[in-house]
Amino acid sequence: MSRVERDDPVLLLREDLRGFAGYRSARMEASQGQVWLNANEACTRADEDDDDALRRYPAPQAEALVDALAALYACAPSQLLVGRGSDEAIDLLVRAFCVPGRDAVLATPPVFGMYAVCARLQGARLVDVPLLEEADDFRVDFAAVGDAAIAQRAKLVFLCSPGNPAGGPLPAGEVLALAQRLAGRAIVVVDEAYIEYADQLSLTGEVQGRRNLAVLRTLSKAHALAGARIGCVIGDPQLVAALRRCQAPYPVSAPSAACALAALRPNALAATRARIVATRHARDALRSALSTVPGVRRVHPSQANFLLVRFDTPDAAGAAFHRLLDAGIVVRDMRAQPRLDDALRITVGTGADNARLLLALRGGAA
Ligand SMILES: *Cc1c(COP(=O)(O)O)cnc(C)c1O
């Protein structure tokens, strides 16, 4: 086989899905016509559906939305699959690539929990390569990830950049070298849910020509649209087409697609950029302030919109968690996670939110 063929991500798909066409929905049958009588939709709209936006099934991959997202992420429309948040993309990847009871997913804990959850639901083995804790910060052991992926025959390697929960970005060169090392063996999936808040650039521009590299992007965080559930996977067109065949017939609701399109207009994007700048400033200020709170041992440097705060002891973390709750402030308790029994994860809030948080942590009245 030539190198290009060997790298074909379709060769890593579950064998039993290689010829799988998926569901052929009515919306895929024709793109034009005046009278649509092929999908058993109601023939007249409901009273509440003022502009007749809801009566029809939506396009499986609304062209305008795919084009707008592809423009945002600097990729070709054929490299992008849109779905219900990046959570759906994670699930699709695991289902499409992992044969239950045989194939494996690699993750680097402590990290976002959905990779392990989706692996568990699919009956895929989970290979953990823990982050190294060095100089009081976390980092991915790329050599160990590559070795374990090969030795344990992982089909998918999930990386998170910036990482959740610590917020550190991954070095692009190491990610790309790992993808090269695993070409033909595993898909390297880089979850960039928070990349908009980071100093470094997204890897979406590196997907072209790297057939086993996929990037997850979402409108949930920086674009302030978590409720709309819009995210995507950007990767090789063959991989995108294969995932599409495993996806639900109409994955994105019409109102969600409309919200996303509105958020991708130039004015909205300019407002998003301004919010990102403000959040980055607030994050850095909050990190400095939190570092001076009694009982706080360390606040990890973060390139995202949250901070991982380490306390002197697990008890101090627990006390802080409850002091905040008593003040009506909910943060993420990380104490049940291995190696994070002294940690809370705090989302950067508004100026008022952050001031209230600091006051409560310092023991003042809320
Ligand atoms: C929040 C988050 C997501 C979820 O994104 P959705 O697009 O809302 O599904 C994905 N990955 C990480 C690391 C996250 O923290």
Q: Which of 250, 246, 229 is nearest to 56 (CA)?
A: 250
SS (H, E, C) the chain: CCHHHHCCHHHHCCHHHCCCCCCCCHHHCCCCCCCCCCCCCCCCCCCCCCCCCCCCCCCCCCHHHHHHHHHHHCCCHHHEEEECHHHHHHHHHHHHHCCCCCCEEEECCCCCCHHHHHHHHHCCEEEECCCEEECCEEECCHHHHHHHHHHCCEEEEEEECCCCCCCCCCCHHHHHHHHHHCCCCCEEEEECCCHHHCCCCCCHHHCCCCCCEEEEEECCCCCCCHHHCCEEEECCHHHHHHHHHHCCCCCCCHHHHHHHHHHCCHHHHHHHHHHHHHHHHHHHHHHHHHHCCCCEEEECCCCCCEEEEEECCHHHHHHHHHHHHHCCCCCEECCCCCCCCCEEEEECCCHHHHHHHHHHHCCCCC
**Domains delineated in the chain:** 3-25+60-264 (3.40.640.10), 268-361 (3.90.1150.10)
Mean pLDDT of 21-47: 87
Q: Which of 85, 88, 90 is nearest to 107 (CA)?
A: 90
Residues with CB under 6 A from ligand 1: 85-87, 112, 160, 164, 191, 193, 218, 220, 226, 231
pLDDT of residue 24: 83
Query: With contact defined as beta carbons under 8 Å apart, do 308 and 283 qualify?
Result: no
pLDDT of residue 18: 84
- Digit-coded pLDDT (tens) for 228-248: 999 999 999 999 999 999 999
pLDDT tier, 3 (very low <50, low <70, confident <90, very high otherwise)? low
pTM: 0.96
Mean pLDDT of 206-228: 98
Residue of minimum CA distance from atom 11 in ligand 1: 193
The whole-chain average pLDDT of the chain stands at 95
Query: With contact defined as beta carbons under 8 Å apart, do 232 and 217 qualify?
Result: yes
Residues above pLDDT 90, as percent of the chain: 90
Mean pLDDT of 266-274: 98
Strand 104-107 relative to strand 125-128, pairing: parallel
Residue of 111, 114, 138 best suited for mutating to test ligand 1, as the one with most atoms within 8 Å of CB: 114
pLDDT of residue 62: 94
- Digit-coded pLDDT (tens) for 50-84: 999 999 999 999 999 999 999 999 999 999 999 99
**Over 90: is that where the pLDDT of 316 sits?**
yes
Query: With contact defined as beta carbons under 8 Å apart, do 201 and 175 qualify?
Result: no
Q: How far apart are CA 185 and CA 156, in angstroms?
A: 9
Q: How far apart are CA 299 and CA 3, in angstroms?
A: 45
pLDDT tier, 2 (very low <50, low <70, confident <90, very high otherwise)? low
pLDDT of residue 4: 55
Residue of 87, 93, 219 best suited for mutating to test ligand 1, as the one with most atoms within 8 Å of CB: 87
pLDDT of residue 158: 98
Residue of 81, 93, 218, 229 best suited for mutating to test ligand 1, as the one with most atoms within 8 Å of CB: 218
Closest ligand 1 atom to 219 CA: 7
**Over 70: is that where the pLDDT of 344 sits?**
yes
- Digit-coded pLDDT (tens) for 123-175: 999 999 999 998 879 999 999 999 999 999 999 999 999 999 999 999 999 99
Q: Which of 16-25, 195-204, 242-251 has the lowest mean pLDDT?
A: 16-25
The angle at the Cα of 160, spanning 155 to 161, to the nearest 5 degrees, equals: 135
pLDDT tier, 365 (very low <50, low <70, confident <90, very high otherwise)? very low
pLDDT of residue 321: 98
Q: Which of 88, 83, 85 is nearest to 121 (CA)?
A: 88
Structure tokens at 203: 């890897």
- Digit-coded pLDDT (tens) for 85-131: 999 999 999 999 999 999 999 999 999 999 999 999 999 999 999 99
Residue of minimum CA distance from atom 2 in ligand 1: 193
User: Is the pLDDT higher at 32 or at 59?
Assistant: 59
pLDDT of residue 6: 72
- The C-alpha torsion from 101 through 103 and 106 to 112, rounded to 10°, is -60
